[in-house]
Amino acid sequence: MISLSWWARRKRQRPVLPELTEFPQVAVLYATRNDFRAPSVETCLKIDYPNYRVFVLDDSTMPEYRDEIDQWVAAHADRAALIRRPANEGFKAGNLNYAMRQLRDDYPFFMICDADDFVAPNFIHATLPYFFADRKVAFVQGKQEVNPNQDDMFAQAIGYRTNVHYRHFVRARNYHGFVMFYGHGALIRTDAWEKIGGFPEIVTEDLAFSAKVRNMVTRGSTKKTSLATKTSRRRTASSEPAPRNGFAHDRIPPDRIPEPVEI
């Protein structure tokens, strides 16, 4: 399978990406439910991009998490804001949709982070040019990398499969097959989200979103963006390799977070 993956993309030309000359507003959505991690969300504040704001989407039911989030947002009120909906309906998709209904008029792009992600500083800078290179790109998905410091033996035993999946199979799908949005570690065009009526409010909202986007005749793309848990995409339902940047699991120490490197 790895050999077939290499063959599928061996002669494909990568897109010529334009230099950024405009910097549209980007909403960075940090979704959490009883799993808030300050070290993770603080990496969102270190993104090297001049025009973005962090929004903590809190669906937590436990008072200790709600209190910690309130304190964190108050301490970073100049760069972050809290969105907490009145009813936790529609799973994670409902949380994202509720936030974007408040933000869509002001933010033409949004980025999704899970509670245990570490975001590389150049993630937005590296993924945004794909949208300007191809107007049919609906999302760019970031590459995941396995956490090297897993405590669980089962996680350690199967962790390498994550790297194999993103390094070989996902990249090949940029050219052949179906490129999927993996639920986090991605930059998304707000108008694409609007055209399909938001995220389908089911447990597998990522797969459903990818399928609906594909039916719009737009596409998704994968980009070789390192997270210690993700990949990146560039068209509406296909994918295109991108520079290394991205996310890392919360247990990866800062010195193990991959440095952004153009591939």
Q: What is the pLDDT along the chain (263 residues), one digit of tens a residue?
A: 555 544 444 555 566 777 888 899 999 999 999 999 999 999 999 999 999 999 999 999 999 999 999 999 999 999 999 999 998 888 999 999 999 999 999 999 999 998 888 888 989 988 898 888 888 888 888 877 766 666 777 767 776 666 676 666 676 666 666 677 878 888 999 998 998 888 988 888 877 888 788 777 544 444 444 333 333 333 222 233 333 333 333 333 333 333 332 22
Residue-range domain boundaries for the chain: 2-8+23-252
Kindly state the greatest CA–CA separation across the chain: 54
| Residues 227-250 pLDDT 10s | 333 333 332 222 333 333 333 333
Report the C-alpha gap between 243 and 246 in whole angstroms: 9
- Highest CATH level, class, for 2-8+23-252: alpha beta
Angstrom distances, CA of residue 148 to CA of 155, 159, 165, 251: 10, 8, 16, 9
Say if residues 241 and 174 touch (Cβ distance below 8 Å): yes
Say if residues 132 and 18 touch (Cβ distance below 8 Å): yes
Say if residues 109 and 27 touch (Cβ distance below 8 Å): yes
HSE-CB of 216 using CA atoms within 13 angstroms? 25
